[in-house]
Structure 1
Amino acid sequence: MNIFGIGLPEMALIMVVALLIFGPKKLPEIGRSMGKAIRGFQEASREFETEFKHEAEQIEQAVKTLPQSDSEKVANGKSENHATSSSQHS
Protein backbone atom coordinates (compact mmCIF):
# COMPACT_ATOMS: atom_id res chain seq x y z
CA MET A 1 0.00 0.00 0.00
CA ASN A 2 1.53 3.29 -1.13
CA ILE A 3 -0.61 6.44 -0.94
CA PHE A 4 1.09 9.73 -1.81
CA GLY A 5 4.48 8.05 -1.33
CA ILE A 6 3.55 7.04 2.23
CA GLY A 7 3.91 3.37 3.15
CA LEU A 8 1.91 1.33 5.62
CA PRO A 9 4.15 2.01 8.67
CA GLU A 10 4.04 5.77 8.10
CA MET A 11 0.27 5.67 7.57
CA ALA A 12 -0.18 3.75 10.85
CA LEU A 13 1.96 6.29 12.71
CA ILE A 14 -0.08 9.18 11.30
CA MET A 15 -3.31 7.45 12.32
CA VAL A 16 -2.05 6.88 15.89
CA VAL A 17 -0.96 10.52 16.21
CA ALA A 18 -4.29 11.72 14.80
CA LEU A 19 -6.14 9.44 17.24
CA LEU A 20 -4.17 10.88 20.16
CA ILE A 21 -4.70 14.49 19.06
CA PHE A 22 -8.37 14.40 17.98
CA GLY A 23 -9.78 11.44 19.88
CA PRO A 24 -11.85 8.53 18.62
CA LYS A 25 -15.10 10.52 18.28
CA LYS A 26 -13.71 13.23 16.00
CA LEU A 27 -11.66 10.94 13.73
CA PRO A 28 -14.57 9.70 11.50
CA GLU A 29 -15.78 13.28 11.04
CA ILE A 30 -12.31 14.43 10.04
CA GLY A 31 -11.98 11.47 7.66
CA ARG A 32 -15.28 12.35 5.96
CA SER A 33 -14.23 15.98 5.61
CA MET A 34 -10.90 14.97 4.09
CA GLY A 35 -12.66 12.56 1.72
CA LYS A 36 -15.06 15.27 0.55
CA ALA A 37 -12.20 17.70 0.02
CA ILE A 38 -10.18 15.20 -2.01
CA ARG A 39 -13.24 14.23 -4.05
CA GLY A 40 -13.96 17.91 -4.78
CA PHE A 41 -10.37 18.45 -5.86
CA GLN A 42 -10.53 15.43 -8.18
CA GLU A 43 -13.79 16.65 -9.74
CA ALA A 44 -12.35 20.12 -10.30
CA SER A 45 -9.23 18.58 -11.82
CA ARG A 46 -11.30 16.43 -14.21
CA GLU A 47 -13.43 19.45 -15.17
CA PHE A 48 -10.32 21.54 -15.85
CA GLU A 49 -8.79 18.75 -17.95
CA THR A 50 -12.00 18.33 -19.97
CA GLU A 51 -12.29 22.07 -20.57
CA PHE A 52 -8.63 22.30 -21.56
CA LYS A 53 -8.99 19.46 -24.09
CA HIS A 54 -12.17 21.02 -25.49
CA GLU A 55 -10.46 24.39 -26.00
CA ALA A 56 -7.42 22.73 -27.59
CA GLU A 57 -9.69 20.87 -30.03
CA GLN A 58 -11.49 24.12 -30.92
CA ILE A 59 -8.18 25.88 -31.60
CA GLU A 60 -6.99 22.93 -33.66
CA GLN A 61 -10.19 22.99 -35.73
CA ALA A 62 -9.89 26.77 -36.22
CA VAL A 63 -6.32 26.43 -37.46
CA LYS A 64 -7.33 23.64 -39.86
CA THR A 65 -10.09 25.81 -41.38
CA LEU A 66 -7.77 28.80 -42.00
CA PRO A 67 -6.39 29.22 -45.52
CA GLN A 68 -2.89 27.76 -45.83
CA SER A 69 -1.12 31.15 -45.85
CA ASP A 70 -2.97 32.31 -42.70
CA SER A 71 -2.29 29.06 -40.85
CA GLU A 72 1.42 29.38 -41.67
CA LYS A 73 1.41 32.89 -40.18
CA VAL A 74 -0.31 31.60 -37.03
CA ALA A 75 2.20 28.75 -36.78
CA ASN A 76 5.07 31.23 -37.09
CA GLY A 77 3.51 33.56 -34.49
CA LYS A 78 2.88 36.39 -36.95
CA SER A 79 -0.32 38.12 -37.97
CA GLU A 80 -1.28 40.77 -40.49
CA ASN A 81 -1.87 43.32 -37.72
CA HIS A 82 1.63 42.79 -36.38
CA ALA A 83 3.21 43.10 -39.83
CA THR A 84 1.11 46.19 -40.65
CA SER A 85 1.88 47.94 -37.38
CA SER A 86 5.60 47.30 -37.68
CA SER A 87 5.70 48.66 -41.25
CA GLN A 88 3.84 51.80 -40.13
CA HIS A 89 6.48 52.49 -37.48
CA SER A 90 9.35 52.35 -40.01
Structure 2
Amino acid sequence: MIGSILADEKAHYAARDPITALKKYILENNLATEQELKAIHKKIDELVEDAVEFADERPLPPRSQLLENVFADPKGFGIRPDGSYRCADPKFTQGTAHV
Protein backbone atom coordinates (compact mmCIF):
# COMPACT_ATOMS: atom_id res chain seq x y z
CA MET A 1 0.00 0.00 0.00
CA ILE A 2 2.74 2.49 0.92
CA GLY A 3 4.54 1.65 -2.32
CA SER A 4 1.48 2.54 -4.38
CA ILE A 5 0.99 5.78 -2.45
CA LEU A 6 4.61 6.73 -3.09
CA ALA A 7 4.26 5.77 -6.77
CA ASP A 8 1.09 7.89 -7.04
CA GLU A 9 2.81 10.82 -5.36
CA LYS A 10 5.83 10.47 -7.63
CA ALA A 11 3.56 10.38 -10.71
CA HIS A 12 1.67 13.44 -9.45
CA TYR A 13 4.83 15.51 -9.10
CA ALA A 14 6.41 14.12 -12.28
CA ALA A 15 3.41 15.44 -14.21
CA ARG A 16 4.14 18.90 -12.78
CA ASP A 17 7.92 18.79 -13.40
CA PRO A 18 8.90 22.21 -14.79
CA ILE A 19 11.91 20.78 -16.62
CA THR A 20 9.74 18.28 -18.47
CA ALA A 21 7.20 21.02 -19.21
CA LEU A 22 9.92 23.31 -20.56
CA LYS A 23 11.31 20.54 -22.77
CA LYS A 24 7.83 19.88 -24.14
CA TYR A 25 7.31 23.60 -24.80
CA ILE A 26 10.69 23.92 -26.56
CA LEU A 27 9.98 20.94 -28.81
CA GLU A 28 6.37 21.93 -29.57
CA ASN A 29 7.44 25.46 -30.51
CA ASN A 30 10.43 24.32 -32.58
CA LEU A 31 12.87 26.26 -30.41
CA ALA A 32 15.30 23.33 -30.45
CA THR A 33 15.45 19.77 -31.69
CA GLU A 34 15.67 16.66 -29.55
CA GLN A 35 19.31 16.30 -30.65
CA GLU A 36 20.11 19.88 -29.60
CA LEU A 37 18.54 19.29 -26.21
CA LYS A 38 20.56 16.08 -25.79
CA ALA A 39 23.73 18.02 -26.64
CA ILE A 40 22.83 20.67 -24.05
CA HIS A 41 22.14 17.95 -21.47
CA LYS A 42 25.48 16.31 -22.24
CA LYS A 43 27.29 19.64 -21.86
CA ILE A 44 25.58 20.24 -18.50
CA ASP A 45 26.62 16.77 -17.31
CA GLU A 46 30.22 17.52 -18.32
CA LEU A 47 30.21 20.88 -16.50
CA VAL A 48 28.78 19.33 -13.34
CA GLU A 49 31.29 16.48 -13.47
CA ASP A 50 34.14 19.00 -13.91
CA ALA A 51 32.85 21.02 -10.94
CA VAL A 52 32.64 17.92 -8.74
CA GLU A 53 36.12 16.84 -9.77
CA PHE A 54 37.44 20.35 -9.05
CA ALA A 55 35.83 20.35 -5.59
CA ASP A 56 37.04 16.84 -4.77
CA GLU A 57 40.63 17.80 -5.59
CA ARG A 58 40.64 20.77 -3.21
CA PRO A 59 41.42 20.52 0.50
CA LEU A 60 38.56 20.90 2.94
CA PRO A 61 38.16 24.45 4.25
CA PRO A 62 39.16 25.15 7.83
CA ARG A 63 36.51 24.79 10.54
CA SER A 64 36.77 28.53 11.12
CA GLN A 65 34.88 29.03 7.83
CA LEU A 66 32.04 26.71 8.82
CA LEU A 67 29.46 29.45 9.35
CA GLU A 68 30.57 31.89 6.66
CA ASN A 69 27.87 32.86 4.16
CA VAL A 70 25.35 30.54 5.77
CA PHE A 71 22.74 32.93 7.12
CA ALA A 72 21.80 36.58 7.32
CA ASP A 73 23.05 38.15 10.50
CA PRO A 74 20.58 40.96 11.26
CA LYS A 75 21.13 40.98 15.02
CA GLY A 76 24.91 41.02 14.82
CA PHE A 77 25.49 37.56 16.20
CA GLY A 78 27.57 35.09 14.25
CA ILE A 79 30.90 36.68 13.41
CA ARG A 80 32.55 39.21 15.70
CA PRO A 81 34.39 42.22 14.24
CA ASP A 82 37.68 40.44 14.99
CA GLY A 83 36.55 37.50 12.82
CA SER A 84 35.93 35.05 15.66
CA TYR A 85 32.63 33.21 15.90
CA ARG A 86 30.17 34.18 18.60
CA CYS A 87 28.61 30.71 18.48
CA ALA A 88 31.58 29.53 20.57
CA ASP A 89 30.23 31.77 23.34
CA PRO A 90 27.90 29.85 25.71
CA LYS A 91 25.50 32.84 25.64
CA PHE A 92 25.36 32.81 21.82
CA THR A 93 21.68 31.88 21.61
CA GLN A 94 20.55 33.69 24.75
CA GLY A 95 17.48 35.73 23.92
CA THR A 96 17.34 34.67 20.26
CA ALA A 97 14.85 31.82 20.56
CA HIS A 98 12.11 30.85 22.94
CA VAL A 99 11.17 27.19 22.66
What interval of TM-score do these two structures reach, taking the shorter chain for normalisation? 0.3 to 0.5
Q: Which of the two has higher C-alpha Rg?
A: 1
- Quick one: higher RCO (CA 8 Å, sep 6+), 1 or 2? 2
Structure with the bigger percentage of helix: 1
